[in-house]
Structure formats: structure tokens, C-alpha cells
Amino acid sequence: MSKPNRNRKHSICVRMNDEEYNELRMKLQESGQTMQSYVNNAIHGGVIATPEEVQALRELNRELDEASRLFRGTANNVNQMARSINLLIMLLQDEHPDWSKADAIVSSLPRQGDLKIIAQHVVQYRKDIDQIWQSLRQYMAQQKPTPVSATQ
């Protein structure tokens, strides 16, 4: 069974002047790709990123992952509070409420200061996410679309 891309039987020869050739070599070095992968990525419309761009995207991904993890933790805490409050409402609607259970639920709920801290965390997460999205937008604005060939 043949592997994909192992059945390439066509090669091409491209003529360039010194300036074009030097620019191609520089871009190859910046991208860290082979000539074949660089050309194939260009043909298939892939974005050819420099190592700095790849590193910047990795950092943005790490920041987004961390913000997402922290936000999920906060959302889980809020969900647990909502569950406790709903249980408390159900207990209090009972004809003969179990006051000891109600007291236990009330004592487990966060106080106003705790809720303010949670609200501050949510605001900070939003700022962090907005900053990451702004960085991604700036990166995308720098990208140049691949020109469409007239022979297509």
C-alpha cells in the first residue's frame, strides 16, 4: 500500500533572478520548511508562518487555554451555588421544611464579599480573553491572502 504523497512523479524547474532566489531562501529559512513543503503549502493556500509567528500563536494558545481553564472553574463554582439555591428553594416550599438542611445549605453559600470576588474574576477573564482576541485580530490583519491563479 503506497503512502500518500509518495507517488509524486512530476518535478518542476523554476527560473529566478538573484533577488528572487535570495528572497525565497530567506523565506524558507524563516519558515523552517523544506522547499517541497513550502511550495505545496503555497499551492494549497496554506499560510506560511515565520517561526516568530508560530511562537506568538503558541503563546496566544497557551494564554487562551489558561483563561479558559480558570473560567471553567469559576463557572463550575457558580453552577454549584445555583444548585444549592434551587435545593434551598425546594426545601422552603415544603409544607414542613427541614430547617437543619436549610441552615446547612445557607451556611455553605458564599457571602456577598465572596460573590464580589467571583464577579471580579469574571471581569478579569473577560479582559484577558478580549486581549487575546485583539492579538489574534492584529495577527490576522497582517496576513496577506494567497492570490488566485488566472488559470483556475
Evaluate whether 91 touches 97 at the Cβ level (below 8 Å). Answer: yes
Instruction: Determine which of 8-12, 96-100, 102-106 has the lowest per-residue pLDDT on average.
Output: 8-12
Q: Give me the residue spans of the domains in the chain.
A: 12-48, 51-142
C-alpha dihedral (67, 73, 78, 80), degrees to nearest 10: 170
Closest CA to 47 of 31, 34, 64: 31
Residue 116 amino acid letter: K
Average pLDDT over residues 83-92: 92
Average pLDDT over residues 74-98: 91
Output 118 or 5, whichever has higher pLDDT.
118
- Could you report the per-residue pLDDT of 110-127, keeping only the tens digit for each? 899 989 998 998 898 888
- Could you report the per-residue pLDDT of 21-34, keeping only the tens digit for each? 998 888 888 777 78
Residues in CB range of 63: below 8 A, 6 or more apart: 128, 132
Asked whether residue 40 carries a pLDDT value surpassing 50, the answer given is: yes
Output 139 or 118, whichever has higher pLDDT.
118
Distance, CA of 119 to chain centre: 23
Asked whether residue 151 carries a pLDDT value surpassing 60, the answer given is: no
